[in-house]
Amino acid sequence: MGGFSAQDLTAIFVMQGFAGLSFFSVLLLMALGLAIIYGQMRVINMAHGEFMVIGAYATYLLTSALRHLPGGLDVSVFLAIPVAFLAAFVVGYFIEWLLIRHLYHRPLDTLLATWGLALIMQQGFRSAFGAREVSVPVPDWLRGSYRPTMMIDIPLNGLAIMLLTVLVTVAVWWFLYRSRWGLRVRCTTANREMSGAVGINTKRVDRMTFAIGCGIAGIAGAAFTTISSTGPTSGSLYIVDTFLVVVFGGAGSLVGTIASAFSIAQAQSIMEFFMGGSMAKVLTLLTVIGILLLRPEGLVASKVRR
């Protein structure tokens, strides 16, 4: 690494590391929703990115409506999260009823169907909001950065997203592993027929699970607006990475999803600085493929007799 002094390198690692953390946060928020939908329900939801975009546009609409009121911008930041969740949740609920519930016996077909859905949704966004990207103004206290030394510059909006990610992760963990709903979800995934035979209404569980997964993607969308502008195709940029995270982490494992989102985001972000985006991506993908060859079930696989 010629040309960089030790001090430069430290600063680069810290800042790229932090950029990686922001990327990690959005990726993890996306992946959490997908971990529920793919990891638990085995539905390959190619439209997951578009549900994120719904959350982002919901945030945009909310902020546009509130920004001219006094203090409206401050309120909208906090309102955006539940609104984005709800918007994506409602659409997800409807889509499950319309499309997904007919495809549980044909998992591979969900890939095609949801990919088509993604295209439809993208065009829908384009018709409704225009092809131009929109950006959401953030309140003053989220702008600017924290500078511990002269060379290190950590953006505040990144910190806010990280905090949000921690909260959502804890909420998802609690939902899946401590709540009555989570138990229903895990039973239904393990054995649909048997779940019905112990008294679980599996159709309702499927619908709620899918909708909640979509809602979490909506939260990712709300977070996304603070670091980037939103366009009709913003979601499709993330979908591949998100699937990578879920598969690499071990489908159905929350710890695995977190670990894999972290390692992929960090590797990408730090390598990007030295070798450019494409090479970084190639190297990340190769490493992931290599590791998956050795551990086909992902980083964290549950150990149980079969």
- Contacting residues toward other proteins, per CB under 8 A: 180, 183-184, 186-187, 190-191, 193-202, 302, 304-306
Tell me the closest approach of the beta carbon of residue 186 to other proteins, in angstroms. 6
> Can you tell me the distance from the alpha carbon of 295 to that of 43, in angstroms, rounded to the nearest whole number?
22
**Burial class for 179, CB neighbours closer than 10 Å (0-12, 13-18, 19+):** exposed
Nearer to other proteins among residue 170 and residue 194 (C-beta) = 194
Tell me the closest approach of the beta carbon of residue 36 to other proteins, in angstroms. 15
Nearer to other proteins among residue 112 and residue 194 (C-beta) = 194
> Can you tell me the distance from the alpha carbon of 213 to that of 201, in angstroms, rounded to the nearest whole number?
18
Cβ–Cβ under 8 Å, residues 88 and 51: yes
Which token pair is 131?
Answer: 């092809």
Nearer to other proteins among residue 146 and residue 174 (C-beta) = 174
Cβ–Cβ under 8 Å, residues 295 and 301: yes
Nearer to other proteins among residue 237 and residue 255 (C-beta) = 255
Nearer to other proteins among residue 149 and residue 191 (C-beta) = 191
Q: Which amino acid is at 56?
A: A
Which token pair is 39?
Answer: 């990891």
CA-only gyration radius of the chain, Å: 20
Tell me the closest approach of the beta carbon of residue 93 to other proteins, in angstroms. 20
Tell me the closest approach of the beta carbon of residue 184 to other proteins, in angstroms. 7
SS3 295: coil
SS3 73: helix
Nearer to other proteins among residue 63 and residue 202 (C-beta) = 202
Tell me the closest approach of the beta carbon of residue 192 to other proteins, in angstroms. 10
Nearer to other proteins among residue 98 and residue 190 (C-beta) = 190
Q: Which residue has the tokens 């329900």?
A: 41
Q: What phi, psi does 251 have (nearest 5°)?
A: -60, 135
The strand pairing partners of 155, in sequence order, are 145
Among 50, 127, 32, 143, smallest CA distance to 95 is for: 50
Tell me the closest approach of the beta carbon of residue 106 to other proteins, in angstroms. 18
Q: Which residue has the tokens 């500078």?
A: 147
Tell me the closest approach of the beta carbon of residue 34 to other proteins, in angstroms. 19
